Amino acid sequence: MLPFRLYEGVDQWVPPLISERKRHLDRRRNPFFQHADAEYFLARRGDRVVGRISAQVDARFNEIHENDWGQFGFFECEDDPEVASALIDAASGWLRERRRDHVVGPMDFSLNHECGLLVDGFELRPQILENWHHPYYAGLLEGAGLEKAMDLYKWRLMVDDRTKVLPIIFEMADKLGPEHGITIRGMRRRDMQREISRFMDIYNAAWEKNWGFVPLTETEVRHYAKELKPILDENWAMVAENREGEAVGVALTLPDYNQVLKGLNGRLLPMGWLKALRERKKIDKVRVFALGVKPEYQHTGVAAGLYERHFDMAATTPQDGGEMGWILESNVAMNRGMEAMGGTIVKTYRIYGRDL
């Protein structure tokens, strides 16, 4: 509950659902803990909680990236360098005891979850599945000896305006069917478990070489399907298939339910659910949660076809645009793609690190 006090009165902050945060932190219910371990720390002055942090070791991360790194996450702190240093030291000490030689974060718990510290774009509210942080947090982490490891960009795309898009995008999209036999359809809500499984297969294949990425396990895929189904909109969930019906590309774009959560103060009960049902009709933005193409099909223009379908959806739904995010600063191809789509970077999240 610490963030509810630290961000009280801040218009940009969106209170998370308390019940969801409890499930996420629960070692028995979150499948992340089938391959990872974590400890949670609170900093206190007397009876007052003044900061928090997690430390975690992800065996799959270490195996895939062939390192002995650990992570920290869930960092929240009063504007007090002494408290911040104590929190980082506590997390670092726990990781050293487990023979980790480097720490990166914040990750809540990995790049598959909320991650990065907001360092630019403070005037904007966060979208669904992302955080907002006080501007002073960066100074606290840097004062505790952490340095930039990687930036994550969020691009804004107003997909109701095709004139900003380079013509090559639509030219490539037009060739998908005639030249490559690839069609794009919406995900089927009645078959959502299988659809999410298809999505995650491509997600894992498309992102496997990205910095810090850890493929999701089958159990995590099923968990994600259950968590995302209530907020999924079939208009914005897309699958690209070849002639044989094989999924070769996907886009999972979510209505920005943070526009609803903003008014619930973290609780659906007793009447929050009724307000959520009423307010969801007013959601006018989306977040492209992930868009990916199997490596062997990345030359065919599948991504362009998925981009074009987003424009088609904007013409028939209440949502006229949103944000694409996040994209690693090192992912040159995707960042150039966003430029070609007429996008602009509106937020930057930063992953920090230091040797232990």
DSSP codes of every residue in 141-168: HHHTT-EEEEEEEEEEE-TT-GGGS-HH
- The predicted-structure confidence for 316-356, as pLDDT tens digits, reads as follows 888 888 898 789 999 998 898 888 888 899 999 999 999 99
| Same domain, yes or no: 62 and 117 | yes
pLDDT score recorded for residue 342: 85
Sign of CA dihedral 156, 161, 165, 171: positive
Q: Which of 119, 150, 181 is the last residue of a domain?
A: 150
pLDDT of 69 > 70? The answer is yes
| Domain stop point among 150, 183, 218 | 150
Residues 124 and 165 in one domain: no
Q: Are 54 and 187 in the same domain?
A: no
Note whether 262 and 15 are within 8 A (CB).
yes
**To 5 degrees, how large is the angle CA 220–CA 224–CA 276?**
155
One domain for residues 131 and 242: no
Tens of pLDDT, residue by residue over 141-197, are 999 999 999 999 999 987 666 777 888 888 999 999 999 999 999 888 778 777 877
- Domain holding 241, by residue range, is 156-355
Domain count across the chain: 2
What's the CATH number where 263 sits? 3.40.630.30
List of residues 6+ apart from 298 with CB closer than 8 A:
none
Do residue 313 and residue 347 come from a single domain? yes
Q: What is the mean pLDDT of residues 296-316?
A: 88
* Model pLDDT, residue 174: 92
Q: Which of residues 150, 182, 211 is at a domain's end? A: 150
Write the CA distances from 282 to 11, 220, 258, 278, 344, integer angstroms: 19, 31, 11, 8, 24
In terms of domains, do 219 and 201 share one?
Answer: yes
Q: Are 168 and 304 members of one domain?
A: yes
Which DSSP state fits 252?
E
225 pLDDT tier (thresholds 50, 70, 90): confident
- Say if residues 50 and 44 touch (Cβ distance below 8 Å): yes
The answer on 213 and 68 residing in a single domain is no
Examine the domain organization and report whether 73 and 167 are in the same domain. Answer: no
> Please, what is the end-to-end C-alpha distance for the chain in angstroms?
30
